[in-house]
């Protein structure tokens, strides 16, 4: 639960800053105009690879599937030496133990979705138990979903308390709060939900579950990065950002890096504070890295599909 000192700082969330949609979209499009070539492209691609939360969130996930994904996380493409690993594997709570064991001491984190992912339509005690189960299984990070229904109904205290309770259940695990921006409707609401999540104790804010369209977009991520910046100005506390869903191409991922670089700067340009939630991005990044090294594109058949 948020401590008394931070409660004194709590703003009225209904007064969260307003966002001008046209302006936000225009600013986001400016980042796509940056030309990323040569060394900066290679370094950017490696950074992107290192920021990926390699994800499988399917009903048909099995131990075998998760183990294969973990191997990919540790050895993205052994044909190229000195590649970084991805940041984390993101799975359902039931797969945490398998992933944890498969990853061993590789340093790659295990992130688990929880709190009745993806809809979040369950009572609080179920969500807490879901979270505790994931943490007990060994999850380093918990990706929770907010109660969008309650949020739309204006019950901000409910949403706030729920996040704070899940944060408490997380213990030492870092908490990522998924806003599911595709269900929020406006940038004003994205900003408000970001503020609620950060003040309630989120370590990361995350755009989407990947189950709803639209998932992450550049403008919506920008609005959240700017919320993080304002929170940092006010409290001095850094919050991480994770756009998830819909980022499958290297070029787009590099545009996101540009956006982080020019909005929050150096401190956020690492996987401690910025992640990509993605499943197919890794292979496109690998393909680009090989292309940068060899000068030619290789067939997709040379990159493992896991």
Partner 1 sequence: MPATKQKKAVRKSNIVKLKFDTSWAYDPAPESKSAATIKERYDLFIDGKWQPSSNKKYFATINPATEGKLSEVAEATEADVDKAVKAARHAYESVWKKMPAKERGKYIFRIARMIQEKARELAIIESLDGGKPIRESRDFDVPTAANHFFYYAGWADKLEYAFPNRTAEPLGVAGQIIPWNFPLLMAAWKIAPAIATGNTVVLKPAETTPLTALKLAEIIEESDLPPGVVNIITGAGATGAAIVNHPDINKIAFTGSTDVGKIIQRAIAGTDKKATLELGGKAANIIFEDAPLDQAVEGVIIGIYFNQGHVCCAGSRLYVQESVAKQVIRKLKDRIESLIVGDPMDKNTDIGAINSKQQLETIHKYLKIGKQEGAEMYQSSCLLPGKGFWCRPTLFTNVAQSNRIAQEEIFGPVLSVLTFRTDDEVIEKANNSPYGLSAGVWTDKGSKIFNMTKRMRAGVVWANTFNKFDPTSPFGGYKESGFGREGGLHGLLPYLALKA
**Minimal distance, residue 230 CB to partner 1, in Å:** 8
CB nearer to partner 1: give 33 or 60: 33
Binding to partner 1, residues 34-53 (CB under 8 A): 34-41, 43-44, 47
Assess whether the previous peptide bond of 214 is cis (omega < 30° from 0): yes
Q: Among residues 75 and 237, whose Cβ is nearest to partner 1?
A: 237
- Is there a catalytic annotation at residue 46? no
Catalytic residue among 140, 143, 195, 203: 143
Q: 118 preceded by cis ω (within 30°)? A: yes
Residue 264 interacts with partner 1 (CB under 8 A)?
yes
Residue in 1, 7, 26, 214 binding partner 1, rule: CB under 8 A: 26
> Which listed range, 22-30, 60-68, 129-137, 275-283, lies at the site for partner 1 (CB under 8 A)?
22-30
For residue 238, give both structure tokens: 């850094």
As to burial, measured by CB atoms within 10 angstroms (0-12 exposed, 13-18 middle, 19+ buried), residue 39 is exposed
Indicate whether 23 belongs to the interface with partner 1 (CB under 8 A).
yes
Residue 195 CB, nearest distance to partner 1 (Å)? 13
How far apart CA 289 and CA 52 sit, in angstroms, is 15
Residue closer to partner 1 by CB (options 58, 267) is 267
Pairing assessment for the beta strands 52-55 and 88-91 based on DSSP bridges: parallel
**Cα separation values, 75 from 12, 212, 296, Å:** 47, 30, 22
**CB of residue 175 to partner 1, shortest distance in Å:** 8
Find the DSSP H helices in 171-210: 187-200
Q: Does 11 participate in binding partner 1 (rule CB under 8 A)? A: no
Query: What is the spatial distance between Cα 201 and Cα 2, in angstroms, rounded to a whole number?
Result: 7
Phi, psi of 91 (to 5 degrees): -140, 175
Please say if 206 is a catalytic residue: yes
Question: DSSP 3-state assignment of 112?
Answer: strand
Q: Binding string to partner 1 for residues 221 to 260, with x set by CB under 8 A, is what?
A: -----x--x--xxxxxxx------------------x---
How many CA atoms, within 13 angstroms, populate the side-chain half-sphere of residue 98? 18
Active site residue 237: no
Residues taking part in catalysis: 143, 206, 242
Residues that bind partner 1 (CB under 8 A): 17-20, 22-24, 26-27, 33-41, 43-44, 47, 172, 174, 203, 226, 229, 232-238, 257, 261-267, 269
């Amino acid at each position: 639960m948020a401590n008394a000192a931070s409660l004194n700082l709590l703003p009225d969330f209904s007064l969260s800053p307003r966002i001008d949609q046209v302006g936000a979209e225009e600013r986001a499009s400016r980042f796509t105009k940056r030309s990323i070539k040569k060394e900066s492209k290679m370094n950017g691609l490696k950074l992107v690879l290192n920021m990926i939360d390699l994800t499988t969130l399917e009903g048909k996930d099995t131990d075998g599937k998760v183990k294969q994904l973990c191997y990919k996380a540790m050895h993205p493409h052994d044909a190229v030496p000195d590649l970084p690993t991805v940041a984390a594997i993101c799975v359902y709570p039931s797969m945490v133990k398998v992933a944890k064991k498969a990853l061993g001491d590789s340093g790659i984190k295990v992130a688990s979705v929880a709190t009745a992912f993806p809809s979040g339509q369950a009572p609080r005690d179920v969500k807490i138990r879901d979270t505790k189960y994931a943490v007990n299984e060994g999850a380093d990070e918990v990706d929770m979903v907010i109660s969008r229904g309650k949020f739309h109904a204006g019950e901000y205290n409910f949403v706030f308390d729920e996040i704070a309770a899940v944060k408490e259940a997380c213990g030492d695990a870092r908490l990522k709060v998924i806003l599911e921006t595709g269900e929020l409707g406006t940038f004003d609401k994205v900003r408000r939900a970001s503020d609620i999540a950060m003040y309630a104790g989120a370590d990361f804010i995350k755009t989407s579950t990947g189950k709803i369209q639209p998932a992450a977009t550049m403008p919506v991520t920008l609005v959240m990065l700017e919320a993080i910046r304002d929170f940092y100005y006010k409290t001095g506390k850094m919050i991480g950002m994770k756009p998830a869903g819909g980022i499958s191409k290297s070029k787009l991922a590099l545009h996101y890096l540009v956006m982080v670089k020019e909005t929050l700067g150096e401190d956020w340009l690492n996987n401690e504070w910025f992640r990509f939630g993605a499943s197919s991005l890794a292979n496109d990044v690998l393909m680009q890295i090989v292309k940068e090294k060899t000068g030619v594109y290789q067939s997709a058949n040379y990159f493992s599909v896991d």
